[in-house]
Chains A and B, each alone.
Chain A
Amino acid sequence: MDLAQFLVQALNGVQYGLLLFLVASGLTLIFGIMGIINLAHGAFYMIGAYLAYWLVGLTDNLFLAILLGIPIAVAVGLVIERLLIARLYDRDHLDQVLLTYGLILILNETQKILWGSDFHGVPVPEMLAGSVPLTENQAYPVYRLFISAVCLGVAAGMWLVIARTRLGMMIRAGASNREMTSALGINIGRVFAIVFALGVALAAFSGMIGAPVSSVYPGMGDRVLIISFVVVVIGGIGSVKGAFIGALLIGLADTFGRVLVPDFASMVIYALMALVLLWRPQGLFGRAP
């Protein structure tokens, strides 16, 4: 691989990594900070993609669709948290696994009832439809660069909210010491409900923003679920920074794995996860238990 190729692939890797962070961002909140094992993360992502397809059909504008879709996702998240998840905070993690598995089934079938089983494409918004030349014969799609920018925006936004706002303080405080937080007069139940809803909204948002490149189809959430867990676990549970770096690492490893060891490409990210966990059982930026 010559230098130009290397740089191009590095760009691909970083770009893919950013996409992975976006896709995993909702899980980073729900699983990483609240400690809820949310297997339905992929299903929320899929619902987001279908929302985009549906709303773009109605409005003919992806950005408008996203604006309309996010409140829907937040509402869904709040309802699910209040009705179901809130009853499980004091229970065994395995109950969360079982419950969110049930949620996957419900959401999958809901998707099918509402939108049917066909494959759909969502057009790239016209203003972002072009490509910019990269090498003599390869160009880079503007929309992918746009997504990268959105990913960086989401990462920065998550960082801002968590590091710089009162809500973020409450989230961090609640994650480190629930009792003390509530003893200071914070309604921790409400904070967790908001975090869960935000997590769902992020999952749906990544589904919406990704719809033009990933296309929209039943079962698209499955792949997202596993890779999101890999991102959060490699980065270290509870660390947004960890998830960000973990995602970039996976993006690069996966990209170079495909090019350099094509025979084992599909195993690279899992091998990476196994190695990271053997070296640092709490993930790259996780706090030691």
Chain B
Amino acid sequence: MTASPAPVLLHLIALALLAAFPWVGGEFYVDLALTLMILALFALSLDLLVGYTGLVSFGHAAFFGLAGYVLAMITPETEPVSLWAALAACLAASAAAALVIGWFSVRTSGIYFIMITLAFAQMLYYFLSESPAFGGSDGLFVNFRPVAAVGDWLLFDLDDPMVFYYFVLATLLAGYALLTTILRAPFGQVLQGIRINEGRTRALGFPTPRYKLVSFVIAGTLAGLAGFLEAVHTGYVSPGHLSWHESGIVLMVVILGGRGTLYGPVLGAFTFGLLRNGLQDVTEHWILFMGLFIVALVLFLPGGIAGLIRRAPKGGSQ
């Protein structure tokens, strides 16, 4: 639960790499890195549930996609919207949705939790894909990136790809730092208690359903933040963003990277993304190799990629 020196060093190296990347990466790879940072943030948010609270959600894309839809709906056709207003609206929407879905879902556990989160996400998916007002199955455009202005003064320009890159990086860092802080705080300690042994935690006097709900809302809101960034990035949202495929992919990323660590999902996002990208370049049968890779990983590397790192320096944090 506390960082030992080796991970701290690794974190700094990773941060330096990401910060320096736009200067050496080339336009496409910079854009890819951006996409993967957003995926990493999305995966981090799910890891709060899967890895730290012991709740496996199979509907997490609902919050990711919903935030994008809110951005698309509030962005006027002909002018940009304020970044602050957009952020507030998108995060509030995902938080509210997470509160409602979570309120129902945290009463169940295990596989039933998986299925009930799936059920709610599917309902939202169908609602959006069947409502012409929300663009139907074709989705919606976000015509303008939000403007980060204070009064008339433009703070920074998200249309500038470099600025946007660092904006995403900063958001990812902020999310990472927020989760680190929360997990070290009493709240996070209770969550981990719930994951390891919910019955015992309840017996110690913590009303665990309430903690699970709050965790669900935080995770949903962070997923919304990632979805907001994705919508700003691509300028396009579709019901596909809420589909169970996307929920499945982000769950895979978390498991692949190593749940229960914060660096795991980030590594998972980059591994998954680069592997997918690389395999698509190399072979027509990339899906086959992706599948073989995943199967091999489960068999030979339990605990995901983070398991490798944890195994290397003995006596890590957990």
Q: Indicate whether A and B are direct neighbours in the complex (CB within 8 Å).
A: yes
Contact residues of A with B, CB < 8 Å? 37, 84, 87-88, 91, 93-95, 97-99, 101-110, 113, 226, 229-230, 233, 237, 263, 266-267, 270-271, 273-274, 277-278, 281-283, 289
- Flag the segment in B21-29, B77-85, B146-154, B285-293 that touches A: B285-293
Q: What B residues does A95 contact at CB under 8 A? A: 255, 298, 302
A93 to B255, CA, bound (A): 11
Q: What A residues does B297 contact at CB under 8 A? A: 98, 102
Given A98-B252, A270-B123, A281-B108, A106:B295 Cβ within 8 A? yes
B111 and A101 contacting across the interface, CB-CB below 8 Å: no
Q: What B residues does A271 contact at CB under 8 A? A: 119, 123
B294 and A99 contacting across the interface, CB-CB below 8 Å: yes
Choice from B123, B251, B287, B295 contacting A84 with Cβ under 8 Å: B295
Among B272-294, those with CB < 8 Å from A are 285, 287-288, 290-294
Q: Which of B111, B112, B120 lies at the interface centre, i.e. has the most chain A CB atoms within 10 A of its CB? A: B112
A99 and B298 contacting across the interface, CB-CB below 8 Å: yes
Given A98-B252, A101-B294, A109:B288 Cβ within 8 A? yes
Q: What B residues does A98 contact at CB under 8 A? A: 252, 255-256, 294, 297-298
**Contact of B92 with A by CB under 8 A:** no
Q: What A residues does B104 contact at CB under 8 A? A: 274, 278
A266 to B294, CA, bound (A): 32
**Consensus secondary structure, chain B interface:** helix
| A107 closest partner in B (C-beta) | B291
Q: What B residues does A270 contact at CB under 8 A? A: 118-120, 122-123, 126
- What number of B residues sit within 8 Å (CB to CB) of A? 39
Given A93-B111, A98-B255, A98-B256, A267:B122 Cβ within 8 A? yes
Given A98-B294, A99-B295, A274:B119 Cβ within 8 A? yes
B97-138 contact mask (Cβ, 8 Å, vs A): 1 or 0:
000000010011111100110111011001100100000000
A75 to B122, CA, bound (A): 35
Q: What B residues does A88 contact at CB under 8 A? A: 298
A191 to B116, CA, bound (A): 31
B294 and A105 contacting across the interface, CB-CB below 8 Å: yes
**Contact of B248 with A by CB under 8 A:** yes
Among B240-258, those with CB < 8 Å from A are 244, 248, 251-252, 255-256
Choice from B115, B256, B287 contacting A229 with Cβ under 8 Å: B115
Choice from A102, A104, A237, A278 contacting B111 with Cβ under 8 Å: A237
B107 and A278 contacting across the interface, CB-CB below 8 Å: yes
A277 and B112 contacting across the interface, CB-CB below 8 Å: yes
A226 and B244 contacting across the interface, CB-CB below 8 Å: yes
| B288 closest partner in A (C-beta) | A109
| B56 closest partner in A (C-beta) | A94
What are 17 residue pairs bridging A and B, where the CB atoms are less than 8 Å apart in the complex? Answer: A84-B295, A84-B299, A94-B56, A95-B255, A102-B298, A105-B288, A105-B291, A106-B295, A113-B288, A226-B122, A230-B119, A266-B126, A270-B119, A270-B123, A271-B119, A274-B104, A289-B109
